[in-house]
Amino acid sequence: MIVDRLVVKKGIEERLADSVATALREGNSIVVAEVLDGKEMLFSEHSACVKCGISFEPLEPNMFSFNSPRGACPACQGLGSTMEFDPDLIIPDKNKSISEGAIEPWGYEHGYYRQMLVSVAKHYGFSLDAPFSELKPEHVKVIMHGGSEEVLFRYVPRDRDGLWEHRTVFEGIIPHLARKHREAQSEEAREKIQQYMSINPCTVCNGERLKPSSIAVTVADRSIIENTRMSVKKSLEFLEGSVLRKKKRLSQSL
């Protein structure tokens, strides 16, 4: 549907505004401007992509502050880094076997963990006496991150007779520690688990602290991150130059 045909010149501002308003209303908030001997331009009232449907929320100053929930990266809450469980801290000496206490957080004296690992090793077919460095990658993955198969666990309590058996999927060391960290009732308990975590740059914002949609906003092809990395003098020159170039383009189009 063609709403209007215009020659861009002074004095058509009111008609242009009316035509755009009509096109937005009839086109479900989307306008296509065809320029003779030029490229077709598509505009969305909701800052949305007509192909993927992703839209930007209205731009506000707090979208560009990592101290604001509206601007902070959702993965790291604006810190730019995350604490993650580090396999090298969990298994500091890979020349040790699991029987020798290679799994630092669990040790090997605790009866429950020991018997649980015996069941896991029997089910998946690896030895607890082999150096950890010699275990197959698929076995290391099961130990660290858990498996997908049900394992028959057998546990003999120390304080009473009998055998306790049940079938379930092995949780894995890292998911186990993560759960214990979430459920910890004291700061001391959390700190004890955090010794097996390391601080890494956030993989969502790459350490920039802002959410991806805020970083995607650019002025003259530069994001706020790129602009703030410049000196005050260079940033001012860049912004003033951007304004002058925009004014020049507008004057040339009228």
28 with 112, same domain: the answer is no
CATH number of residue 89's parent domain: 1.10.8.280
CATH number of residue 38's parent domain: 3.30.1490.20
The amino acid at 94: K
The CA distance from 206 to 75, in Å, is: 11
Q: Which domain holds residue 231?
A: 222-254
Tell me if 212 sits within 8 A of 204, measured CB to CB.
yes
Q: Please give the share of the chain, as a percent, with pLDDT higher than 70.
A: 89
Pick the residue with more confidence: 78 or 25? Answer: 78
The CA distance from 46 to 35, in Å, is: 22
Which of 88-102, 109-123, 234-248 has the highest average model confidence (pLDDT)? 88-102
- Taking CA atoms, 233 is separated from 224, 227, 228, 238, 240, in Å, by 15, 11, 11, 9, 11
In a domain, 10, yes or no: yes
In a domain, 194, yes or no: yes
Query: What average pLDDT does this structure show over 81-91?
Result: 94
Encode burial over 82-107: b for 16+ CB neighbours within 10 A, e otherwise.
Answer: beebbbeebbeeeebbbeeebbebbe
Can you give the pLDDT at residue 2? 83
- Taking CA atoms, 126 is separated from 115, 120, 137, 143, in Å, by 15, 9, 11, 11
In a domain, 14, yes or no: yes
**Residue 21 confidence (pLDDT) above 90:** no
Can you give the pLDDT at residue 130? 96
Ordered alpha helix ranges (H), 40-133 = 87-90, 111-124
190 with 103, same domain: the answer is yes
50 with 98, same domain: the answer is no
In a domain, 5, yes or no: yes
* Other residues' Cβ atoms within 10 Å of the Cβ of residue 33: 13
- Taking CA atoms, 195 is separated from 45, 83, 92, 99, 191, in Å, by 50, 10, 12, 22, 7
Pick the residue with more confidence: 41 or 64? Answer: 64
Q: What is the dihedral of CA 131, 133, 136, 138, to 10 degrees?
A: 110
**Residue 129 confidence (pLDDT) above 90:** yes
Number of domains in the chain: 3
20 with 100, same domain: the answer is no
Can you give the pLDDT at residue 252? 57
7 with 107, same domain: the answer is no
197 with 229, same domain: the answer is no
**Residue 138 confidence (pLDDT) above 70:** yes
